[in-house]
Amino acid sequence: MGIHQYFWSLNELERIYRCPGKFKFEEHSVAAHSWKVVQYAKTLADIEERNGVTVDWKKLYEITSSHDYGEIFIGDIKTPVKHASRELRALIQQVEEGMVDRFIEEHIPEEFKPIFRRQLQEGKDNSTEGLILEVADKLDQVYEAFAELKRGNTEKEFIEMYRHALIKISHIRLHCVDYFLDQILPDMVNDEIVSRVDIRSITDEALGGRRNGMEQ
Amino acid sequence: MGIHQYFWSLNELERIYRCPGKFKFEEHSVAAHSWKVVQYAKTLADIEERNGVTVDWKKLYEITSSHDYGEIFIGDIKTPVKHASRELRALIQQVEEGMVDRFIEEHIPEEFKPIFRRQLQEGKDNSTEGLILEVADKLDQVYEAFAELKRGNTEKEFIEMYRHALIKISHIRLHCVDYFLDQILPDMVNDEIVSRVDIRSITDEALGGRRNGMEQ
Amino acid sequence: MGIHQYFWSLNELERIYRCPGKFKFEEHSVAAHSWKVVQYAKTLADIEERNGVTVDWKKLYEITSSHDYGEIFIGDIKTPVKHASRELRALIQQVEEGMVDRFIEEHIPEEFKPIFRRQLQEGKDNSTEGLILEVADKLDQVYEAFAELKRGNTEKEFIEMYRHALIKISHIRLHCVDYFLDQILPDMVNDEIVSRVDIRSITDEALGGRRNGMEQ
Amino acid sequence: MGIHQYFWSLNELERIYRCPGKFKFEEHSVAAHSWKVVQYAKTLADIEERNGVTVDWKKLYEITSSHDYGEIFIGDIKTPVKHASRELRALIQQVEEGMVDRFIEEHIPEEFKPIFRRQLQEGKDNSTEGLILEVADKLDQVYEAFAELKRGNTEKEFIEMYRHALIKISHIRLHCVDYFLDQILPDMVNDEIVSRVDIRSITDEALGGRRNGMEQ
Amino acid sequence: MGIHQYFWSLNELERIYRCPGKFKFEEHSVAAHSWKVVQYAKTLADIEERNGVTVDWKKLYEITSSHDYGEIFIGDIKTPVKHASRELRALIQQVEEGMVDRFIEEHIPEEFKPIFRRQLQEGKDNSTEGLILEVADKLDQVYEAFAELKRGNTEKEFIEMYRHALIKISHIRLHCVDYFLDQILPDMVNDEIVSRVDIRSITDEALGGRRNGMEQ
Amino acid sequence: MGIHQYFWSLNELERIYRCPGKFKFEEHSVAAHSWKVVQYAKTLADIEERNGVTVDWKKLYEITSSHDYGEIFIGDIKTPVKHASRELRALIQQVEEGMVDRFIEEHIPEEFKPIFRRQLQEGKDNSTEGLILEVADKLDQVYEAFAELKRGNTEKEFIEMYRHALIKISHIRLHCVDYFLDQILPDMVNDEIVSRVDIRSITDEALGGRRNGMEQ
């Protein structure tokens, strides 16, 4: 009953973790993921603007910040399930939308209902803002998978996640995608190609002529 | 390729947690839940046997130990989603079964395929063993919710979980259900009706005449 | 070097936890907090707009999403320290701003420097957007403290946090503050005034006439 | 008092973790371990049956599911301690059995006492079922240690655990041991001999001709 | 081989948690417990000195800081086990001492062996320092149990731990025990007798005449 | 009001974690760190004594055990911030000392105030004990960073922490520094230069002639 119910519900997304079941060195809540998507989208939109594209910032704000809100109702359904059949996928989306609608119907005051209906609907359309959201969402998969691989995780899932997200991004026609592929991705990959840590030589360098007991 | 793939996959159920999103004082993995179901079912079957019912222990072993194995493939879909529409529920079950089948097809050696198909299929039929599994599965919901409520969790979900599981159990016609309702449940409820801890009186009792600085 | 460095750094805010040292039932990362602030601010701005106020959504987007980014550099300095002396507080803010500036200088490409300087500066000015950010930030303290108190945490810090945040909010002159105090806060407080869970009566109600072993 | 006490106690094994003190990437509760042992034993028994051996499934069910129940009473005593002296080991086992007996005496209703005494006694005898339990228990040590080594853990304890468990298994004369050594173990070892993840080449492959900014 | 082995081993006590298996709101590592014992002992010794007792600070330093080092070798054996029989208890202590001796023999350089033998032996003798250690060790049980009870934990074990530790302390004849019972314990108990948090009245007080929407 | 307040506050240092924000495989609380510093200092002082230096054990006890107590009041301020300007650093230290003083003023009974003032002041002066504390504190940074690097953490921060701590130690003129550099550090570095784990060869060695299915 009321906006309180909505504000209170946000806390749930701090307790839903992405990629349940897979071994990882670091967990990411849906809330933290959503925040990073908001951040990426901001910079991606800046890049679009610098290339003369007009960005509707209110729309971008609305669709990026709420893009995974529906997970409160449907939980964490694995990607392979969602894509198992076109029919199933459509049904799941219907159910999610139905539950969001019911939440709005029951809890949101009359005067805010249209606003919430607009904000909580699926935002990934073909508008500039919808495409930026799509890139930002996939970009977080790139970073999540990259961080695991960099830390030595050898689970196939993260290789696949990294690959698929890159491929998805590379097929979207936005200026910011070019910028990502040309300027950001090379830095990321080079960042990783760092020689492994060699404790002995760091030690030698730090101590210079001082130490004398170290065997060589 | 091979049984190794199956054994290795079991580890995933140690990392899928029940009731994602809800605030709780204690998390339960699907693996730990499955083990408790195996334990409850064993005692429930003992009760049936004592009442002259014949139990097929091999079948009971197979269906209880593997009853949530499919969650590896479909992840943690919330109960309200599963029940949102009969059609959706049927589709989700189809997909889960399809994914289990594909796993068996791809990874299990030819000679074990029939065994795995039998073990990994849905076990909750109307046989004695199927009904015992149903009771044992609900019994773990009773205990999970009871523990949260006892520790002061006031989330509505756990009240609902406790109520629904009790109601579900009470409608199943087995000797062990009578035993549970008549002998086990009253102990559980009375266990909770314990006077709140009073630190001052525990302190007084422990120290007897010894202490003198305590104000009264 | 480059935007990659910025995107990669966001991950750090998933690992900085609020209120270090205090006992709490639930931890909140700065990333998750930031996301909730983005969400509250969106609805607060909707309320302003409904009251005829013009909102600069781009500015609101920029200042809310990045408002705690500086914590990457200065870490979690306790509020009492920050406020210990006007002089110290000014110095700490200077240092934080200096470190953000240096980060921009070293890592952000020339053409984005002005954008990042604007986005990463302190956003809590006296503009509508700055005030909305202030309310949203305090609102999250209200919700964090409320959740702890509701779950039985008796630490004085959370009572203080709840009180101070409420007082701070009540002194800001915005339509959304009136709405919060008149419509949202009463729901929150009433939500809490729920009779404690009584397991015995829930059990009795669930089982109706069915059970017979329960002592009364 | 009553079966409730037993069901409630199971929760404790979700909070006792194996190998306390050692650095590991993943913790395993005794409950999750017990469930995996139940699973392995099921497949190992299937292999025995395929080789014409008769399996007593009720007995197997009882001894595998409860095989570490006694840890509720004695806690996690390190293996080196248990084996420090034959005398100490016998004494510890005596104490554990005494505490299980006392639990049964105090809490289990008269009519179930014989059943619980049989189920909670040490199951690793020389029967087919006892030997299968022994193999399944060691198999989980193999998998636990293997997973740590695979993820880069260099602690000597896990090398030792892996080695000792393999040696122990290889000395047990069962058909399923042959199957494990000939069919499962090679898959496990080959699974590990995977080339390390090379992020650059995955990136190149994913993007094909598309990207152009990547230095080579 | 060498002091490095000893320094490196300390890390293990950060990963051994006290009271394994029991439900608690907060875990305590043996390392953190040891540090608190060091702190309590310091103040307890200050109290003795103020009463004219001579304290051997070097001895007190040595025995308090290392008093649980042996847990690295024997792990966390439950108190009931240790006390199950006088014979078993003596044997376990023998084994622990044997393992500590072997560690010193194998890893500690010749010239430090006598020092380590003295430091790592059982320190709870009848000297002033030994008795202070005993009080400090029990005092941490009082605080651990008190914190759980205060936060709403109703597990019997913590009531028992609190009671037994208080009784144990009250039987030791030291000036600091009198001070604890007369000055510290009453503050602790009174600290707890705080009226439960009442969110509505805190809210009313914070907002004063400002709010108007709150129902009363 | 009273020593109780002090004892109760120690618990906070179990919940403040070092190096907030950085990715690490293992977290270290300030309490656990403090205990390890106490341990290192004890052995470092033993080395000084063996070289004829007189150690004031009471002073050493006081300054090592409490050396990070002030973090309860100021929280975890990042090292770069502390060192950002000489002026800021001095101010932060002033504030910390002021808060410790106020705590003593408000909570510590009159007769203990001088003792607490001496114990809780900054202990790192130029006395033997002050220098030992400095070495012990840096030694824990060496071990924390070493453990991360050894486990595959490639974050620059831990390389820097390791280097800086080594350099700092090497500039302090104490016998125990020579001992560390000549005897302990070489063991640490050699300990790391262990060939990577090769699962196949461990498997082959464990099974000897027994296994036959392993491809070669």
Whether B185 has its CB under 8 Å from any CB of chain C: the answer is: yes
Alpha carbon dihedral F148, F153, F154, F158, in 10-degree steps, equals: -30
CA separation for the pair E56, E127 (Å, rounded): 10
Report for A122-131, E191-200, F72-81: range of highest mean pLDDT:
A122-131
Q: Which of C80, A158, D50 is nearest to B110 (CA)?
A: D50
Interface test with C, best of E211, E212, E215, E216 (most C CBs within 10 A): E211
Cβ pair F206:D146 closer than 8 A: no
CA separation for the pair F148, F138 (Å, rounded): 16
Cβ pair A166:D206 closer than 8 A: yes
Whether F214 has its CB under 8 Å from any CB of chain D: the answer is: yes
Q: What six digits make up the tokens of B33? A: 């839940």
User: What DSSP character marks residue F12?
Assistant: G
CATH code of the domain occupying C3-206: 1.10.3210.10
A109 three-state secondary structure: coil
CA separation for the pair C116, C114 (Å, rounded): 6
* Closest CB from A152, A197, A215 relative to F186: A215
- How near does any CA of chain E get to the CA of F106, in Å? 14
E194 three-state secondary structure: coil
Whether C166 has its CB under 8 Å from any CB of chain E: the answer is: yes
- Where is E101: in which H helix or E strand? helix E86-107
Cβ pair B20:A85 closer than 8 A: no
* Closest CB from B72, B88, B98 relative to A95: B88
Mean pLDDT computed over E185-191 = 87
| Mean pLDDT estimate for chain E | 88
Residue E34 contacts residue F35 (beta carbons within 8 Å): yes
Structural domain boundaries in chain A? 3-206
Strand partners, C75: F77
Cβ pair F181:A150 closer than 8 A: no
Chains in contact with A, counting 3 or more C-beta pairs less than 8 Å apart as contact = B, C, D, F
Global confidence as pTM: 0.93
Report pLDDT for B135: 98
Mean pLDDT computed over C17-23 = 91
Q: Where are the alpha helices (DSSP H) in C108-184?
A: 113-120, 128-150, 156-170, 175-179
Cβ under 8 Å to C: E residues 106-165 = 147, 150-152
All residues of chain E having their beta carbon less than 8 Å from the beta carbon of residue D91 are 85, 87-88, 91
Whether A26 has its CB under 8 Å from any CB of chain F: the answer is: yes
Whether A98 has its CB under 8 Å from any CB of chain B: the answer is: yes
Query: Does the pLDDT value for residue A212 go beyond 60?
Result: no
Cβ pair F207:D170 closer than 8 A: yes
Whether E1 has its CB under 8 Å from any CB of chain D: the answer is: no
Q: Which residues of chain F have pLDDT under 70?
A: 1, 76, 192-197, 209-216
pLDDT one digit per residue (tens) for chain D, 216 residues:
699 999 999 999 999 999 989 999 999 999 999 999 999 999 999 999 999 999 999 999 999 999 999 888 887 677 777 777 787 788 888 888 888 999 999 999 999 999 999 999 888 899 999 999 999 999 999 999 999 988 888 888 898 899 999 999 999 999 999 999 999 999 988 876 554 567 777 788 877 866 544 444
Whether D195 has its CB under 8 Å from any CB of chain F: the answer is: no
Answer left, alpha or beta for residue F29, where phi above 0 means left and psi between -120 and 50 means alpha.
Answer: beta
Tens-digit pLDDT profile for residues C156-210 = 889 999 999 999 999 999 999 999 999 999 998 887 655 456 778 778 887 786 6
* Closest CB from E150, E151, E203 relative to C185: E203
* Closest CB from F202, F210, F214 relative to D162: F202
Tens-digit pLDDT profile for residues C101-147 = 999 999 999 999 999 999 998 888 999 999 999 999 999 999 999 99
Tens-digit pLDDT profile for residues B134-175 = 999 999 999 999 999 888 888 888 989 999 999 999 999 999
All residues of chain B having their beta carbon less than 8 Å from the beta carbon of residue C146 are none
Whether C79 has its CB under 8 Å from any CB of chain A: the answer is: no
Please report the ipTM that was assigned to this predicted complex: 0.92
